[in-house]
Chain A
């Protein structure tokens, strides 16, 4: 297998393939099949300053080419994560990206402040799709002004590189991307799930509203990655509907520096190791020495 390591904020990562936040438990659950050391970096489940219970069931709904989830960000809280789970990643010499969120500005800031720099932390990833309870439930990531504001405040309390993870449910994602970068975001993660509804015809009801993920999301994510990578100078992590190595390659060519795999793991628990190998094989077979050789090479026709 060829060398597919990348450098991100001065850290060497084995490969540019990560899990998407919230889709690989706390990392330990995959151990019976393969280990987190397979990943370029492990992305944590979304963490909040206090533990959060999440939503009642049903929490998942199947669509033909994807799924809808309404987990509601259940997590053990940032303190417990660092006490109980972080040592496992250190032992496994696996760097992490800490995904976090809040329902108020203060919660975002408190959470970011809590996380101290460590050689095994590559970056923070702030989830901007959360409902802002003070602004009546509109998500933090929907308006450029709000994005600028919250990113700037979080950036002021942390020395760790900061990724802003954007929601696709906006008028113009490039405007949001620019606002995040002007406020100091060191990178962007594109994209989070798309708001959607499940429908049960037999029961004539909507059993859940939540975020749509999986293959249906891929073209939307690719467009966001491509357009934003032309508009901002920071590294972009592409995520949304990547199911196999060719999907992954398309994200690199569209301008992503790294990618994340979410829903694919539920369909095939070995999707991540297969994609890592597939990306390396593609580079070898096409005479490329490193991922950067194909980064952003997509042409518009």
Chain B
């Protein structure tokens, strides 16, 4: 982990409201594992604290982040031109751990795909990918990223399955009865909740990448906690004990 200066190589829109940011770091970041994130100092414009983003990709000193514009920090970031200096602290947090025995299934909702893409890449086509979003616009997030066939659900039915991604997953899970599957997921709270509802009866192993507002990103402030089943210390830090958690250990 280190705080590293870098410069924006490119920062372009890949779908309405979604951007891909590439930064050339001045020093190598160290070993990066799927699910880890960075705290990024958004350049200028009165953004006081850093913002957390999953490490979408990291290769040869170039860090890639995929982000959705939701508020002032990401708005400001989306305006930053090439060559803008930027600070990134990372890699941070606990990562997805993959066991060889299980058949991996990756379930992502919208920009949640940014959190699982590094894992998808590592699994090299061994995983089934389920992606859910609102409209066909967002399907562009998968473009180039997933060379093999992903299962896609759009809420408005403009691409793939019409409905939500958990309904789509349900259909496929029926076909996998008796097999050892394991699920890796990242997406909106409601998606994670309905996923949990779906797989609760089977207690399928599931790792989930959670998000919470952060101030420090490295376990210093206790600002980013999620409630867990641990009776003694229920609140765990998303930045330190997470962001990847065992779904069955957290209370949603």
CB under 8 Å from chain B, chain A span 222-273: 263, 265-270
The residues of B that contact A139 with a CB separation of less than 8 Å are none
CB distance from B20 to the nearest CB of A (A): 25
Question: How would residues 183 to 210 of chain B score, 1 for a CB under 8 Å from any chain A CB and 0 otherwise?
Answer: 0000000000000000000000000000
* B222 contact from A51, A59, A61, A66, Cβ within 8 A: A59
Q: Is B94 an interface residue, CB under 8 A from the partner?
A: no
Specify the chain B residue showing the minimal Cβ separation from A63. Answer: B48
Main secondary structure of the interface of A (DSSP, over half): loop
Cβ of B232: which chain A residues have Cβ within 8 Å of it? 51
For B238, the closest partner residue in chain A by CB is A57
Interface of B is mostly: loop
Within 8 A of A (CB), among B1-18: 1-3
Check if B48 sits within 8 Å of A24, measured CB to CB: no
Residue from A32, A57, A62 in contact with B212 in the complex, judged by beta carbons closer than 8 Å = A57
CA gap between A71 and B212 in the complex, in Å: 13
Tell me the bound Cα distance from A51 to B46 in angstroms: 37
A61 to B227, CA, bound (A): 19
- Nearest opposing residue in chain B for A19, CB measure: B220
Instruction: Indicate the member of A69, A267, A270 with the most B CB atoms within 10 Å.
Output: A267
Q: How far is the CB of A260 from chain B (nearest CB, A)?
A: 14
Work out how many contacts link A and B, with CB atoms closer than 8 A.
92
The answer to whether B49 touches A32, judged by C-beta atoms less than 8 angstroms apart, is: no
Check if B219 sits within 8 Å of A60, measured CB to CB: no
B48 to chain A: closest residue by CB: A62
Contact A267–B49 (Cβ < 8 Å): yes
Nearest A residue to B47 via CB reads: A62
**Which residues of chain A from 37 to 91 have any CB-CB distance to chain B below 8 Å in the complex?**
45, 51, 53-54, 56-67, 69, 71, 74, 76
Chain A hits for B50, CB < 8 A: 266-267
Which residues of B lie under 8 Å from residue A265 when comparing CB positions?
Answer: 216, 220
- A217 smallest CB distance to B (angstroms): 13
- Are B49 and A67 touching (Cβ within 8 A)? yes
Q: Would A71 and B220 count as touching, CB distance under 8 A? A: no
With most chain A CB atoms within 10 A of its CB, the pick from B48, B50, B212 is B48
Is B222 within 8 A of A54, CB to CB? yes
Shortest distance in angstroms between A192's beta carbon and chain B's nearest beta carbon?
Answer: 15
| Distance in Å: Cβ of B49 to nearest Cβ of chain A | 5
Q: Please, which residues of chain B bring their CB within 8 A of the CB of A65? A: 48
Q: How many residues of A contact B (CB 8 A)?
A: 36
| Minimum CB distance partner of B46 in chain A | A64
> Which of B47, B215, B235: most chain A CB closer than 10 A?
B215
B36-61: contact bitstring with A at CB < 8 Å (1 yes, 0 no)? 00000100001111100000000000
Q: How far is the CB of B4 from chain A (nearest CB, A)?
A: 11
Q: For the complex, give the distance between the alpha carbons of A60 and B219 in Å.
A: 13
Flag whether B226 is at the interface (Cβ < 8 A).
yes
A74 contacts B225, C-beta separation under 8 Å: yes
Contact residue among A23, A32, A64 (Cβ-Cβ distance under 8 Å from B221): A23
User: Which residues of A are found within 8 Å of B213, using beta-carbon distances?
Assistant: 57-61
Question: Taking A54-B235, A74-B235 as contacts, is the C-beta distance between A22 and B3 under 8 angstroms?
Answer: no
B129 interface residue (CB < 8 Å to A): no
B-side contacts of A69, CB under 8 Å: 215, 221, 223
From B3, B227, B233, A51 is in contact (CB under 8 Å) with: B233
- CB of A266 within 8 A of CB of B46, answer no
Q: Do the beta carbons of A214 and B48 come within 8 Å of each other?
A: yes
Is B214 on the interface with A (CB-CB < 8 A)?
yes
The verdict on A30 contacting chain B, using a C-beta distance below 8 Å, is yes
Q: How far is the CB of A45 from chain B (nearest CB, A)?
A: 8
Within the assembled complex, what's the spacing in Å between the Cα atoms of A122 and B1? 31
Closest A residue to B73 by beta carbon equals A62
Q: What are 11 A-B contacts with C-beta separation under 8 Å? A: A25-B220, A29-B218, A32-B218, A33-B3, A57-B225, A61-B213, A66-B48, A69-B223, A76-B233, A265-B216, A266-B216
Q: Which residues of B contact A (CB under 8 A)?
A: 1-3, 41, 46-50, 89, 212-216, 218-227, 232-235, 240
Q: Which residues of A contact B (CB under 8 A)?
A: 22-25, 29-30, 32-33, 45, 51, 53-54, 56-67, 69, 71, 74, 76, 214, 263, 265-270
- Contacts A54-B235, A57-B213, A266-B221 known; list 17 others, CB within 8 Å: A25-B222, A29-B219, A32-B218, A53-B235, A57-B225, A60-B49, A60-B223, A62-B49, A69-B215, A69-B221, A74-B235, A265-B216, A266-B215, A266-B220, A267-B48, A268-B3, A269-B89
